[in-house]
């Protein structure tokens, strides 16, 4: 772009900002135009994300059946402080207020999930019309506010009634039936569906580490079988959504593949990062993108490899309209010719920076390298960031506000790396900030806050943090700020 073009687009952006009204810090941008190197592509989708069990509460209302997270959170010792999702943000009753928060931010999209056990209290069988009606109300409220829903069908709250849970292959089939049913109900108004959230979390954390529901520590063969049922559920879900959607549905997955960052940006270390991305996610995103388990995974698993039936891998590899990535923490790698796969993973160090959650190491480069390695390995049609954000030790100041400059620091740095990926032409179409508001942070209960709105859980009062004002300004400019 030459100087004249730059000035022209700069002036256009300045004009748009002037028309946009009262920004907090609009003056500078209006005078100078938003610099090209800060901008996101036109039409970039800005959103926020939440998940049903983390925000809804109302766990016994309108015929909802129990989920494995109700059981787990009510088991003493499983969740910090004995917290449960019984009330959470009470979004079941306050969804209109939450849509207003979204509108206040100016987001064009909202990623939400559906509680399977509100729709099928027994996991399968007879649907519960009151559960469907709740999501009809939420979707209608979003559309009335000009906000596009991106619906995740499964964000960990598995119906407790399903025998054997994810250890049972039938659960994958039950998921597909439920996903197809909901696509049939919503696809006149919802056109973006994500099957499951974070394969590695609902399989491994729940069935290997045992720190999430259902709290099991299975042997390697049983664990691989659970993982297989997880990717199978995704694949059968894709097929069912396509079969039941009434036209125009785009289908993808929201996965938290482990993300590998080359320690040095040279060809050998970049190759190492790509190899790590493919190998270390072999039983999850790699299987989904390639429709097979790669040899290195099957060899390492040996007799513990999953039992696969005819047709499974074709379903698992169903072509997707987009891949969505939850990106938080990086793993740095370096090339190592002596190691299997040609790479060595570097441990986090004592002085590696982290946010309030001990696992949340800061590595903004994960944003760029996540998008780039997924693009180069599998060439998806489109990529979204379905989650990115951080916990912080938020405190209310004397005025009752949260000035979370630490969260703004985190977000600005990650978004700089996402912008880099988009500007280099990788097909990054949108970004969902985790999270719209503080909520039930799984095994950490309410002790870790990820919201850009503060929630007082005693009164349910929502208050925008400084990061919400920052995000609103970024969206208004479609540029880093």
The residues annotated as belonging to the active site are: 198, 387
Q: Which is nearer to ligand GBH, 175 or 181 (CB)?
A: 175
Rounded Cα gap, residues 99 and 48, in angstroms: 11
Q: Which is nearer to ligand GBH, 183 or 201 (CB)?
A: 201
Name which position in 67, 91, 187, 197 contacts ligand GBH (CB under 6 A): 197
Rounded Cα gap, residues 40 and 30, in angstroms: 17
- As separate numbers, helices (DSSP H) first and strands (DSSP E) second, the chain gives 18, 13
Specify the residue for token string 């993982």: 227
Binding residues with ligand GBH: total (CB under 6 A): 15
- For 159, the token pair is 């119906």
Q: Which is nearer to ligand GBH, 51 or 151 (CB)?
A: 51
Q: Which is nearer to ligand GBH, 288 or 315 (CB)?
A: 288
In sequence order, the β-bridge partners of residue 433 are: 48, 388
Q: Which is nearer to ligand GBH, 91 or 256 (CB)?
A: 256
Name which position in 256, 279, 373, 388 contacts ligand GBH (CB under 6 A): 256
In the complex, the smallest distance separating the C-beta of residue 447 from ligand GBH, rounded to whole angstroms, is 12
Q: Which is nearer to ligand GBH, 117 or 128 (CB)?
A: 117
Binders of ligand GBH among residues 205 to 224 (CB under 6 A) are 205, 211
Is 239 annotated as a binding-site member? no
In the complex, the smallest distance separating the C-beta of residue 159 from ligand GBH, rounded to whole angstroms, is 18
- One symbol per residue from 338 to 377: x for binding ligand GBH (CB under 6 A), - otherwise; what is it? ---------------------x------------------
- For 187, the token pair is 């696809």
Question: Quick count: other Cβ atoms within 10 Å of Cβ 376?
Answer: 13
Question: Quick count: other Cβ atoms within 10 Å of Cβ 264?
Answer: 11
Question: Quick count: other Cβ atoms within 10 Å of Cβ 221?
Answer: 14
In the complex, the smallest distance separating the C-beta of residue 444 from ligand GBH, rounded to whole angstroms, is 7
Nearest to 345 by CA among 410, 277, 284: 277
Q: Does 284 bind ligand GBH (CB under 6 A)?
A: no
Q: Which stretch, 40-48, 179-187, 193-201, 261-269, contacts ligand GBH (CB under 6 A)?
A: 193-201
Binders of ligand GBH among residues 2 to 61 (CB under 6 A) are 51, 54
Rounded Cα gap, residues 275 and 331, in angstroms: 13
Is 54 annotated as a binding-site member? yes
Q: Which stretch, 33-41, 140-148, 195-203, 393-401, contacts ligand GBH (CB under 6 A)?
A: 195-203
Q: Does 259 bind ligand GBH (CB under 6 A)?
A: no
In the complex, the smallest distance separating the C-beta of residue 391 from ligand GBH, rounded to whole angstroms, is 7
Is 328 annotated as a binding-site member? yes
Is 442 annotated as a binding-site member? yes
Q: Does 410 bind ligand GBH (CB under 6 A)?
A: no
Concatenated DSSP letters of 341-407: GGEEEEPP-TTS-B-SSTT-B--THHHHHHHHHHHHHH--S-EEEEEE---B-----TTS----HHH
Rounded Cα gap, residues 356 and 354, in angstroms: 7
Is 166 annotated as a binding-site member? no
**Is the Cβ–Cβ distance between 133 and 141 less than 8 Å?**
no
- One symbol per residue from 425 to 464: x for binding ligand GBH (CB under 6 A), - otherwise; what is it? ---------x------x--------x--------------
Q: Which stretch, 80-88, 175-183, 194-202, 461-469, contacts ligand GBH (CB under 6 A)?
A: 194-202
Give the residue at shortest CB distance from ligand GBH: 359
Rounded Cα gap, residues 171 and 67, in angstroms: 13
Helix, strand, coil percentages in the chain from 3-state DSSP, rounded to 5? 45, 15, 40
Rounded Cα gap, residues 337 and 347, in angstroms: 18
Tell me the C-alpha to C-alpha distance, in Å, between residue 333 and each of 20, 256, 273, 281, 420.
Answer: 44, 18, 6, 15, 20
Name which position in 128, 152, 192, 326 contacts ligand GBH (CB under 6 A): 326
Question: Quick count: other Cβ atoms within 10 Å of Cβ 388?
Answer: 24
Nearest to 255 by CA among 372, 378, 155: 155
Rounded Cα gap, residues 416 and 418, in angstroms: 6
Q: Which is nearer to ligand GBH, 318 or 329 (CB)?
A: 329
Q: Does 387 bind ligand GBH (CB under 6 A)?
A: yes
State the virtual CA torsion across 40, 387, 335, 275 in degrees, nearest 10.
-100
User: Binding site, residues?
Assistant: 54, 155, 197, 328, 434, 441-442
Query: Contact positions toward ligand GBH, by CB under 6 A?
Result: 51, 54, 197-198, 201, 205, 211, 256, 326, 328, 359, 387, 434, 441, 450
Binding-site positions for substrate read 54, 155, 197, 328, 434, 441-442
């Amino acid at each position: 772009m030459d100087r004249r073009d730059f000035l022209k687009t700069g002036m256009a952006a300045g004009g748009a900002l002037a028309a946009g009204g009262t920004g907090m810090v609009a003056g500078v941008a209006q005078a100078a135009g938003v610099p090209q190197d800060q901008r996101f592509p036109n039409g970039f989708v800005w959103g926020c994300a939440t998940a049903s069990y983390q925000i809804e509460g109302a766990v016994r209302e309108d015929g909802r059946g129990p989920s494995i997270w109700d059981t787990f959170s009510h088991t003493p010792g499983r969740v910090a402080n004995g917290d449960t999702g019984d009330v959470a943000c009470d979004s079941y009753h306050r969804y209109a207020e939450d849509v207003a928060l979204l509108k206040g931010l100016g987001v064009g999209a909202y990623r939400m999930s559906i509680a399977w056990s509100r729709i099928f209290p027994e996991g399968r069988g007879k649907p519960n019309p009151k559960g469907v009606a709740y999501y009809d109300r939420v979707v209608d409220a979003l559309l009335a506010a000009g906000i596009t829903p991106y619906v995740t069908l499964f964000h960990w709250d598995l119906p407790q009634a399903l025998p054997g849970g994810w250890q049972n292959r039938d659960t994958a089939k039950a998921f597909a039936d439920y996903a197809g049913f909901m696509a049939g109900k919503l696809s006149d108004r919802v056109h973006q569906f994500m099957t499951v959230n974070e394969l590695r979390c609902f399989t491994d954390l729940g069935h290997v580490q045992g720190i999430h529901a259902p709290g099991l520590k299975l042997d390697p063969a049983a664990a691989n079988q659970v993982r297989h049922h997880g990717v199978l559920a995704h694949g059968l879900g894709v097929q069912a959504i396509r079969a039941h959607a009434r036209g125009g549905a785009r289908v993808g997955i929201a996965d938290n593949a482990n993300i590998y960052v080359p320690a040095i940006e040279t060809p050998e270390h970049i190759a190492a990062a790509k190899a790590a991305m493919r190998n270390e996610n072999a039983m999850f995103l790699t299987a989904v993108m390639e429709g097979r388990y790669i040899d290195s995974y099957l060899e390492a698993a040996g007799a513990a490899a999953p039992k696969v039936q005819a047709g499974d891998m074709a379903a698992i590899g169903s072509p997707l309209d987009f891949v969505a990535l939850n990106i938080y923490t990086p793993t740095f790698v370096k090339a190592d010719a002596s190691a299997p796969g040609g790479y060595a993973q570097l441990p986090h160090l004592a002085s590696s920076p982290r946010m309030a959650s001990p696992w949340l190491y800061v590595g903004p480069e994960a944003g760029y390298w996540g998008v780039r390695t997924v693009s180069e390995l599998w060439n998806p049609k489109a990529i979204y960031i379905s989650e990115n954000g951080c916990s912080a030790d938020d405190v209310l100041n004397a005025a009752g506000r949260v000035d979370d400059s630490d969260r703004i620091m985190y977000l600005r740095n990650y978004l700089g790396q996402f912008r880099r990926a988009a500007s280099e032409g990788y097909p990054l179409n949108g970004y969902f900030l985790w999270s719209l508001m503080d909520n039930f942070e799984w095994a950490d209960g309410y002790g870790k806050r990820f919201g850009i709105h503060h929630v007082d859980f005693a009164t349910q009062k929502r208050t925008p943090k400084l990061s919400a004002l920052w995000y609103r300004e970024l969206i208004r400019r479609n540029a880093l700020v």
